[in-house]
Amino acid sequence: MKTKNRPPRRRVPPQNTEGSPGDQSPDRPQPSSGAQMAKGLRSRTVRAQGARAEGGRRRPGLSGPAGRRDRRESSVQRRLESNERERQRMHTLNNAFQALREVIPHVRADKKLSKIETLTLAKNYIKSLTATILTMSSGRLPGLEGPGPKLYQHYQQQQAAGGTLGATEAQPEGHLQKYSTQIHSFREGS
DNA sequence: TAGGCCATCTGGTCCT
DNA sequence: AGGACCAGATGGCCTA
Q: Which strand C bases fall within 7 angstroms of a protein CB?
A: 3-16
Query: What pLDDT, on a 0 to 100 scale, did the predictor assign at position A64?
Result: 55
A1 strand B contact, CB < 7 Å: yes
Query: What pLDDT, on a 0 to 100 scale, did the predictor assign at position A174?
Result: 65
Mapped onto helix, strand or coil, the DSSP state of residue A98 is helix
Cβ–Cβ under 8 Å, residues A141 and A133: yes
Rounded, the Å distance between the CA of A20 and C1' of C1 is 26
A67/A112: higher pLDDT: A112
**Average pLDDT value for chain A:** 59
A25 strand B contact, CB < 7 Å: yes
Q: Which residues contact A184 (CB under 8 A, 6 or more apart)?
A: A107
Query: What pLDDT, on a 0 to 100 scale, did the predictor assign at position A22?
Result: 36
Nucleotide showing the shortest C1' distance to residue A24 CA: C9
A115-129 pLDDT, tens digit per residue, is: 888 998 898 899 899
Nucleotide showing the shortest C1' distance to residue A34 CA: C11
A29/A80: higher pLDDT: A80
A20-66 pLDDT, tens digit per residue, is: 333 333 333 333 333 233 222 222 233 233 322 222 222 233 445 66
Query: What pLDDT, on a 0 to 100 scale, did the predictor assign at position A153?
Result: 66
Burial A104-143 (b: 16+ CB within 10 A, else e): bebeeeeebbeeebbebbbebbebbebbeebeeeebeeee
Phi, psi of A14, rounded to the nearest 5 degrees: -65, -35
A26 strand B contact, CB < 7 Å: no
Rounded, the Å distance between the CA of A19 and C1' of B9 is 9
Query: What pLDDT, on a 0 to 100 scale, did the predictor assign at position A183?
Result: 62
Query: What pLDDT, on a 0 to 100 scale, did the predictor assign at position A82?
Result: 87
Q: Confidence class of residue A111 from pLDDT cuts 50, 70 and 90?
A: confident
Mean pLDDT, rounded, for A130-139? 81
Q: Confidence class of residue A114 from pLDDT cuts 50, 70 and 90?
A: confident
Nucleotide B10: closest residue by CA–C1': A22
